[in-house]
Structure 1
């Protein structure tokens, strides 16, 4: 390989490196700002220098990598080696960053490690609990087997197949990584640092319990790059499909299983050589695309005890994005002046990375147009044409303002211009006119009002539960869960911390349709079988306060 050196400004000799070059990084290089992805025969990162592979970029190396300085691999970046016998020598620092989707309380990810000697106390120190899977302890759940007539089962009979784990993270093995059970949905921002990058042939000792259905193994992509699920299946004769956990539904007391609260198999998507199927509990948003991201864990049903193998031929330089993040929920609200061709649109987005304050790059002031509809922060400040909020919750309230330079008193109409995202598309949008003291279901009809010239801050409020039944204690009670939803009859309610004292159900215009009191129970159930198929709101009263959940009666 011919040596080609980066000096901080230029390549020497001139020209971008190719697969025949031994690339030497003698000054800091970032693929996002200094020339893009790198293809090389061999790579050396000199001491006191940093090579950064930024998001969606790649480092593709035929042979060895030597790190005497620092190698940073961003979330969704890829580092690929071609030769299975190539080495990665780490005499400095290697950081591989992986961000999970936002996880609700009790939710988990299946994760592995792209580094050779990572530990539970290292990269997963911020997780509440880590579990590893013992296939030898697994036996298909009898209740599920009988109900499904022998279909594929991932539910254990005794509940002893997942054990708390505190040791080293084995390359190729997948682990259940659980976040804390309290607090809002939060991502785990992981930094793998211990050892060096996994490369070449990685084997996992598959366990086989006599039948394929009784032999679930939890494994993980061991590389700092995406891999092809198709190539993985083709390389392993004892694997006919891969199974992904899509973390959609909270654990449910009504789901068959050995625990008080069990996860549902409807949150599992499948991919094989024919293609993929979405998780039954979602729409096409969980359809696997045949790519497995850095460190992403997944399940296989082994058909024998042959070792499961990963190798460099499976690795990819793109597509490292299948650790799915929540859809961005967005709503565009429009105001139209009746009689004039003047209108204005306000955008509100619900985004994992945003806060309820001002976020640079996510919030923008309204324009000084003749007619304007805009939103405020919770304290009524700012006039925002675009506003970002945190992850969507139906208990949110968003204050809105309106301004017009039209001199005469005329009518205006507010409507939903567009709506995106799974949460918002299934939500009901209400507009409160604080001046007229009216509530309008914007999901069903537009709202027309009269106004003279002026600026009217905080005139409106957008919310997703009717005003008459909004609770004020949602932050305290945010881990209350209801199952199943939608439901045809019985609705179970689980309050992990506080006793439930009453559940009152309202229709969409705020009328009480049923109410039931309870004593000394954190887990209750109500029967909705007599109600018509529609959207309702369950006000859950506890000893610590109340909150409202939107429910769908089928």
Structure 2
């Protein structure tokens, strides 16, 4: 007996010593080199461009790290896939997403009992992300994925993520190193849950460094043993032989089961994950839905509304024979197909809710079988998506309330509806000016002041604004509208057939090329890359801009905030943005062609406050000016891969379809193109040497107040506004900081500049180098950014002959008339009280 005990003790000691030694020593395929963010052999053109063929690991590569590309090693008798990432190494995304090298696996797209996705493999963990904050420590090595019906979360939400956090111990030299890893399941509390409020982090087990650990993850649907009419959506994992099962909340909303694995997230340091023996299988069983018919007038999500007492699910064919309401702020309505019978059958969709139909919509009631209300204060109109066809000749109706006496840009969400169905409806309360209605189309080719054409009840055929009973609104076209009702029910009504496919608007290059287009669906649409990048779906700017059909001068959309009277500018590089249902907006065409909307862009997910930023941790400054109650702003973003010149998709001009009397903008830090920018994206380095020119248009002799919302300012840096007229620097990144200035002219070119620097003191040479010199026209040289005092200007041709010399006293900007000169390269020599500056210009 003693001998057996001694043998066990010796065996335990040997195993413990082996584990300890193994944890302290580097694995044969471990990267022990100096930490770097990026390496030349880690760069990749796209997320899928650098992979091995053949390879040991299953799945499609998603490489968003410039530290190292996917490689393989042979160790312990197995071939290992190597997944190494470092902090800040994601150069594929410009919206602050975490680095990753993962593999995606095709998803189980059905929700029937027995549908599942199953992944197996052998895991080794060598290193995970480390920070000074334990909440940010660790790296995900595997995750369960799957979309759901209704609103909430990202476009491609994680259901749960398996997180490895470091446990430290001494190495042979007494240094604290990662010796093992606590494994957690970060699981949603509800569909779309994110952050501390939306997810729980549950401890599962501990894995030693470099220990070979078998893994199985199965995500799928099974029958609920407590209720055979219900299903359980589950994510069951087996880690090192121990099962960790979990039931996903709101199983009725799940539409997919998917899995990704690799290495994802490193908020500090480096992560090194190894995978071998990977396999994947999936089973897809269609759900056995039933036909559910309404029993009485009532709430869609109340059992008594339906025959049999069961609320319809996404698998059921639904027949509505009564007035059924999807109540506001509810969980939404789901159906496989939707049929509305003859009157009184009607589906009412209230504010802040949604309807999801995977198949066809069939209507018998001719005018308003489906009606959407957007009449609640701060209420967002409900949304609908469907995957099949829509009955021709049957109309859906929307009733939308707007703020009285203000102008808005709206869209036509139907297939060529009749104008009179809006203008003649008793609930439409348009403002009028004589016989002209406050409802207008836009044509940029017309002269300033006449670009909008208002529908006119007094116009005759051939006259502007004429319409009759046959006149229709254009597909995917935007319109301007203003309402005023004596009873304060400031509504407008539209009705028609919903689009069940792609929709296009024919762009015009007339005038300055601005076109007023509109969302053609009663749903939100992915507008930019951040909104759709998670699952690779299309977005409006990607499809129609420089990465797609290349129809636009700029990958930018301009939206009018009618309540606040300001333009909102969005581009591909901004925070996630979804176009609202019924929203009209401007784009600028560089060529004729069809601006296209696809149903794959649709989502029920609404926007947060449009002025809130996402948590992408990038340095960003929103600079605003206020005059009385009116406030406008411009944005400066510091992003990887940007330049100081114009970066299409990341820099955006202010709206130029027609002038505004109050606006703030920036000019390019690099080569001046005359562009006035609403958004300027700059390199995420060398902040101190990038002085941003600020321009203001306002009434002469008015007082304006500058404020800045500075996010994620780098340590040691501060944000200053320079006023060269008054020779002042004012720090704006502190709480409640502001600067008040009186402007004597309508424009302020050359007066205001924004600095990100470690101190307010500025070298004279640095200020001189920020002076911009360019041709404003063929016979005028413009100098912007001058400090107060005497300035001498000389112009020399290419052989050194002086062809112009002048002197003046000024600050801000100065225009100089040029003599008639031959075409060619010239050098401008600028001499001020702070020094000399030479700049080259080309006269053509």
TM-score grouping bracket, smaller chain normalisation: 0.3 to 0.5
TM-score by length of 1: 0.45
The structure that has the greater radius of gyration is 2
